[in-house]
Structure 1
Amino acid sequence: MQTSYKTLIVDDERLARNELKRLLKAHPECEVVAEAASAKEALKVLAQQSIDLVFLDIQMPEVSGIELAQDIPACTRFVFCTAFNSYALDAFSLNAIDYLLKPVAPERLAKTIARLPAVGSTEHAPDPATQLPAAHYLPEHHGILLKFGDINRIVRLHEIYRFESVGNHAAVYSSHGKSFLHSSLARIEQKLDPSFYFKASRADIIRLDAIEHIEAGISAGSMLAVLHDGQQIDVSRRQAQQLRLLFSSL
């Protein structure tokens, strides 16, 4: 039976790798078996041996941690670590266990380790190849890195009930509050399962189960979708017809 998570630390700074190794000594369930100073070195390690858990820096030369995450085997869990608490990233590339801000606090690391299934558990990391529907929509448990004030938080897709176009960004509304993504609404829409999300207009995508009730809109044929938090979302005349058909078929 497996007695520990074989762990790889990826960071271009040696001192940062050493500090994380020191902190992980308090967690014998995480056995550091390798380290890498670049994404290239990390991929070589991953090809040569079985790794259960990866701690990876985001800001690295040539290939970032975000890009490296794309090539980590689906059965391997990973945690992002970074010294930067404010930056733009393609949030839809993220399906991490957690996100740690440097310098890593021991108590914060302990919470991350607690998210892992018990060593020897038969539970496996989700395989995106088996989780995504044929249209390649993101699964409901998919994590998105969002910033709320000074706090960076991984928010699962099922917690998000509205995406609003704001310039070249999108405002994201969830149970944790309002945050922003550097992404267009059109790009976001491509990744959302229409079974759960509805494009109300060119400016808004809303979660269907967040709609409390529907009212007539100001203009002829338009509608207002009133969400569970009281927000009133304009539904264009064209989309209003689709929304009526959708709810009449439920």
Structure 2
Amino acid sequence: MSAISPTALIADDEPLLRRALARQLADAWPELEIVAQARNGREAVERFEALTPDVCFLDVHMPGLDGIDAARAIGQRAQIVFVTAFDRYAVQAFEQGAIDYLVKPVEPARLADTVARLQARLRAQTSMADLGPLLQHLSRTHLRWLRASIGNDVRLIAVEDIDYLRSDEKYTRVAWRDDSGKGGEALVRTPLKDLIAQLDPAQFVQVHRAVVVNLRAVSHVVRGENETARLHLKARTDLLPVSRRYVHHFRPG
């Protein structure tokens, strides 16, 4: 722990979220000094090596080197707090008892609990436990459920029931069907780019910069001009565009 005051690093690819967490920490833990902010895991590791902060707040999903990789590189040299939009990661990390977590959007009460635990660990100079097994588990586990808004309701949607996902500005529109064949569309607050990394690549493929499809939902592919294509779905009339960049997914083997 720093001799004068504890120090921290915040890593998140969204500048607004980095600044928001810094403001919340200033209120919840005035003595904490934010010595660095990073846009991705690579920057986080570089700035950690240069400044060796006591605490690292790492967004799980960042482009390139993500929060899991950064935590693996930092190891037991700092207190790690994962910041995530996915409860699955939070629950698994919390159950291990070795690290803490914050779920976006960060709630003041939850942040206060996290700060209290971090302060106690730093006062006791408690070293981090070996995170290797947990990080390995997190890196190979795929998303299984999504919490989506349907009107005023929040619905839990099994990922295997999703036909496709489409980017909708800062949100993601999810088209899904249940076991009875009844389905609908819902909005998820997480951007599509953050969801892609958590989907099983054997089941979900990106077919356009704004569209990801469940291969099990595809009926057939119709080729278009300039090496593009259209996807027809088994239980929907929707036609999904396939851009040149992704048409290789549907070439004959």
Q: Indicate the TM-score class for this superposition, using the shorter chain for normalisation.
A: 0.3 to 0.5
What TM-score results when the alignment is normalised by the length of structure 2? 0.46
Could you say which structure has the higher helix fraction?
2
